């Protein structure tokens, strides 16, 4: 995958979304915001990817490392029980660790605590994760 700063955000977003769909993250729906209009659960919310340019690696400064930070939210309905979150989070983590791209390295996957959140009239279990990837160009 060729990544440049101008298109890195979109390129990484599309790559990650495709990987999550390909790995069939525990039967989840992959969406870019909380599904309010036509809700389907379990859901993995994959909003925007944050890209930052790190230091030059080569002496002449031509080879650079981009750091991509991806924030995910995992949602299940309370009636589906909190235990249904674990396989979804595990499948997402496996999707990132199994990325098979020559110039993308998995750095970390940090999960937050599970919370019970009321959205409208319905309670949901929610947890998040922050994933960091490095892209060498």
Mean pLDDT, the chain, rounded, equals 81
90-116 residue pLDDT tens: 989 988 887 777 678 888 999 999 999
Residue whose tokens read 């990132």: 96
CA–CA distances in Å: residue 6 to residues 12, 63, 66, 128: 12, 16, 12, 27
Instruction: Give all domains of the chain, ordered by start, each with its CATH number.
Output: 8-136 (3.30.2000.20)
Element (H, E) at 43: strand 43-45
Please answer whether residues 19 and 30 qualify as being in contact, where contact means their C-beta atoms are separated by less than 8 angstroms.
Answer: no
116 SS3 class: strand
pLDDT at residue 31, rounded to an integer:
85
């Amino acid at each position: 995958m060729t990544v440049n700063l101008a298109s890195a955000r979109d390129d990484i977003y599309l790559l990650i979304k495709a990987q999550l769909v390909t790995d069939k993250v525990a039967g989840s729906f992959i969406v870019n915001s909380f599904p309010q209009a036509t809700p389907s659960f379990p859901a993995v919310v994959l909003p925007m990817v944050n890209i930052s340019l790190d230091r030059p690696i080569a002496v002449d400064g031509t080879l650079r490392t981009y750091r991509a930070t991806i924030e995910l939210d995992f949602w299940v309905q309370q009636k589906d029980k909190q235990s249904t979150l674990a396989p979804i989070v595990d499948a997402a983590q496996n999707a990132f660790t199994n990325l098979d791209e020559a110039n993308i390295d998995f750095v970390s996957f940090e999960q937050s605590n599970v919370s019970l959140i009321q959205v409208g009239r319905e309670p949901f279990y929610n947890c998040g994760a922050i994933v960091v990837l490095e892209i060498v160009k």
